């Protein structure tokens, strides 16, 4: 039987800062164990805007440098910025201090390999094992500040955008997170008109990351787009590895619609791997139908952009991603990258001659309802076998739909997804399932 990780979840180690698994002591041990696992000589660390970031950064680089590593501090930078920096500087790995979309009181640590990609489950398990090993001989490394890496990353993203694809009257919602540093640089280095391009939620004092802003609060972006009569809006999460879009009507263009657009663009240009796309179990069934019409095979995988990448590597797929806005575009990025995706979306819209305002209507998604039940016990104590049996019982009532239930990898939640052509049936089954499954939480 495969051993389960105890510290690492869907996206690194995450908890309320200075509590549980996200203390300075844990960060110190993680830093030390990562170097012993990686045998790295040069590691790059970045962080988002959270107040706890500097505290955890100090502990993390102390652990790394105590193993003889040269640690480069990039400061506030998106997660994909560290992925880029690792490749650009031929580093042995990277680490990001961020809790992504979670509220300000949370924080987390995720590691990247020398390819700039997130580690596998087995690699994270190996790091946990090393943390439990006895003391050993240590060395003294070095710590270097290199804040200019954020500029290199932003300029890299700027080069992706076709100048002819730029749209006037666009807004970027930075979620008061890491993209608040990169978006202004991006705008200055592209054909965006600085007088017609808006940037909102760009305060980086650390107490407000993801608060009433970004992908977790799309009403902030959609309301701004409608109020100011803008053409388009992009919203990121705290570490900018996700993006969601608002059309001019204030309707949300999610990861599924983005993948539909990019899939067609990849096929038109015959980019490597254009025949296949990887999506997670959460993606709408309408996406499979649309991609099939383009001759693109859809492959599904568990939730998490690193699982998307693993399946892309196995299958040779050109694009992959999640409904939540994590998108990986082969040839452009090796991890979810909100800024890169935004630029590729503009390129694709231009090349395809797309009408952005009609995308939501034409996609015609199956009705879905995602219900989150708060867990009153640990994830390990949830009787998932019993939960799945109940799900099978109701799946029989949805011959043209599906039910998917899982525990969250980042929060104490049981997630219940119901999808079918009839909205009434979706609502009915969702309510009944939620009621029945409360006792297992």
Question: Domain limits of the chain?
Answer: 13-147, 168-365, 368-440
Give the mean model confidence (pLDDT) for residues 14-40: 96
Beta bridge partners of 329: 319
DSSP annotation of 247 reads: E
What average pLDDT is seen over the chain?
A: 95
- pLDDT greater than 60 at residue 375: yes
Cα–Cα distance, 363 to 360 (Å, whole number) = 5
pLDDT of residue 396: 85
pLDDT in tens, 283-307: 999 999 999 999 999 999 998 888 9
DSSP secondary structure string, 33-99? HHHHHH--SEEEEEE-S-TTHHHHHHHHHHHHHTBT-EEEEEEE--HHHHHHHHHHTT-SEEEEE--
CATH of segment(s) 368-440: 3.30.310.50
SS3 374: strand
pLDDT band (50, 70, 90) for residue 2:
low
- Nearest one of 139, 140, 38, 46 to 92, comparing CA atoms: 38
Cβ 59 vs Cβ 25: under 8 Å: yes
CATH of segment(s) 168-365: 3.40.120.10
pLDDT band (50, 70, 90) for residue 6:
confident
- pLDDT greater than 80 at residue 158: yes
pLDDT in tens, 125-152: 999 999 988 777 889 999 999 999 999 9
pLDDT in tens, 305-339: 889 999 999 999 999 999 999 999 999 998 999 99
Cα–Cα distance, 119 to 110 (Å, whole number) = 8
pLDDT of residue 135: 74
Neighbours of 228 (CB within 10 A): 12
339, two tokens = 């800024």
SS3 188: helix
pLDDT of residue 238: 97
Cα–Cα distance, 283 to 306 (Å, whole number) = 16
Neighbours of 313 (CB within 10 A): 14
Alpha-carbon 276 to chain mean position: 21
pLDDT of residue 426: 93
- pLDDT greater than 80 at residue 48: yes
pLDDT of residue 125: 95
**Range 13-147 has CATH code 3.40.120.10:** yes
| 130-147 burial code (b ≥16 CB/10 A, e <16) | bbeeeeeeeeebeeeeee
pLDDT in tens, 245-294: 999 999 999 999 999 999 999 999 999 999 999 999 889 999 999 999 99
pLDDT in tens, 57-114: 999 999 999 999 999 999 999 999 999 999 999 999 999 999 999 999 999 999 999 9
Alpha-carbon 228 to chain mean position: 28
- pLDDT greater than 90 at residue 342: yes
pLDDT of residue 304: 87
| 412-440 burial code (b ≥16 CB/10 A, e <16) | ebbbbbbbbeeeebbebbbeebbeebeeb
- pLDDT greater than 80 at residue 161: yes
Q: Which residues are catalytic?
A: 100
Cα–Cα distance, 86 to 94 (Å, whole number) = 6
pLDDT in tens, 407-420: 887 788 999 999 99
Are domains 13-147 and 168-365 of this chain identical in fold? yes
Cα–Cα distance, 45 to 92 (Å, whole number) = 12
CB-side neighbour CA atoms (13 Å) of 413? 11
pLDDT of residue 1: 56
């Amino acid at each position: 039987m495969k051993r389960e990780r105890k510290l690492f979840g869907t996206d690194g180690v995450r908890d309320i800062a200075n509590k549980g698994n996200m203390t300075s002591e844990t960060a110190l041990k993680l830093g030390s164990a990562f170097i012993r696992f990686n045998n790295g000589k040069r590691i790059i660390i970045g962080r988002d805007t959270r107040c706890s970031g500097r505290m955890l950064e100090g502990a993390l680089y102390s652990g790394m440098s105590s193993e003889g590593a040269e640690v480069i501090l990039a400061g506030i930078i998106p997660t994909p910025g560290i992925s880029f920096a690792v490749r650009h500087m031929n580093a042995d790995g990277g680490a990001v201090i961020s809790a992504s979309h979670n509220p300000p009181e949370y924080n987390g640590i995720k590691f990247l390999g020398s390819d700039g990609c997130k580690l596998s489950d087995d690699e994270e398990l190996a790091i946990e094992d090393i943390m439990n090993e006895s003391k050993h001989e240590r060395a003294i490394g070095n710590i270097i500040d290199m804040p200019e890496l954020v500029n290199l990353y932003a300029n890299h993203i700027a080069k992706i955008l076709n100048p002819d694809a730029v749209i006037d009257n666009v807004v970027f919602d930075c979620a008061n997170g890491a993209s608040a540093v990169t978006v202004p640089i991006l705008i200055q280095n592209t054909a965006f008109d600085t007088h017609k391009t808006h940037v909102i939620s760009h305060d980086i004092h650390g107490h407000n990351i993801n608060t009433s802003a970004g992908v977790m609060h799309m009403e902030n972006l959609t309301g701004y787009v409608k109020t100011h009569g803008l053409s388009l809006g992009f919203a990121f999460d705290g570490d900018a590895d996700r993006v969601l879009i608002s059309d001019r009507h204030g309707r949300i263009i999610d990861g599924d619609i983005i993948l539909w657009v990019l899939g067609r663009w990849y096929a038109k240009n015959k980019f490597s791997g254009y025949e296949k796309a990887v999506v997670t179990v959460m993606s709408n069934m309408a996406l499979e139908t649309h991609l099939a019409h383009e001759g693109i095979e859809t492959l599904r995988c568990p939730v998490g952009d690193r699982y998307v990448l693993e399946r892309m590597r196995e299958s040779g797929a050109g694009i992959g991603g999640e409904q939540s806005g994590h998108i990986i575009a082969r040839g452009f990025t090796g991890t979810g990258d909100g800024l890169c995706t935004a630029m590729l979306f503009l390129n694709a819209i231009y090349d395809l001659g797309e009408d952005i305002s009609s995308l939501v209507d034409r996609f015609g998604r199956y009705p879905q309802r995602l219900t989150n039940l708060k867990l009153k016990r640990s994830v390990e104590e949830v009787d998932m076998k019993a939960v799945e049996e109940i799900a099978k019982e109701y799946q029989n009532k949805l011959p043209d739909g599906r039910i998917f239930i899982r525990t969250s990898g980042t929060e104490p939640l049981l997630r219940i997804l119901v999808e079918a052509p009839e909205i009434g049936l979706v609502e009915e089954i969702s309510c009944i399932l939620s009621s029945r499954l409360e006792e297992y939480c």
